[in-house]
Amino acid sequence: MPRPTRSPWIDVSVPVRTGMPVWPGDPPTLTERLLDLERGDPCTLTRVEMCAHAGTHMDAPAHFVAGGANMDALPPDTGIGRARVIAILDPGAVTAGELAPHRIRRGERILLKTANSARVWDSAGFLEDCVRLTPCAAAYLAERGPRLLGVDGLSVGGQDESGEEVHRILLSAGVWILEGLDLSNVEPGSVELVCLPLRLAGAEGAPARALVRPIGRRRAGG
């Protein structure tokens, strides 16, 4: 028999499940099986309760900017098209100094792969020592003007006021933020990105499914 074709697409979103790590203070995620064919019910039916910012999700400007655009205003191609995965080696923070050599251009889609991918999503709870952007790094990116910034932690910023500042700097500059990625199986370089958040009317954020396909190279082991 012919061998099944291996898909070149890599799912970089995290599974939505009961008990998944969430931002401190956000409601927990719950998936509950209401009906089940194996129990003799006429169909299988699942109820989901979650915050709009749980797991893989997108932030709209309205999340931290008064009067900012909400998810209804998301340009359709924000999360669809060529993107660049950049490896961040600093184990503590994303800094402007480490970003500068990559010469980020206006309109790019940038995905930052840090130490988070290898540890955040295997944890039973929220990790407080995740790699996050400094305000200076956020200001650098705002000046460069990417259309989308993706990160592999639950937030681009920390739990203190600097985390709020990072959000405001990016969102005020029109940078849409994609958080909660798992880039552990993705090598740095150019990829095709497909990311579509749920169309939550009037919301400041929404859960999303995100996939990437490497451009110009074979996936390791493929």
Residue with token string 């209804």: 72
What value, to the nearest 5°, has the Cα angle with vertex 154 and ends 146 and 98? Answer: 45
Strands (E), 36-127: 45-49, 57-59, 80-87, 93-94, 109-113
Q: Which of 53, 57, 63, 167 is catalytic?
A: 63
Q: Is 63 marked active-site?
A: yes
> For the CA atoms of 84, 59, 74, 76, what is the dihedral angle to 10 degrees?
40
DSSP state letter for 4: P
Q: Which residues contact 157 (CB under 8 A, 6 or more apart)?
A: 132, 133, 138, 163, 164, 165, 166, 167
Catalytic residues: 63
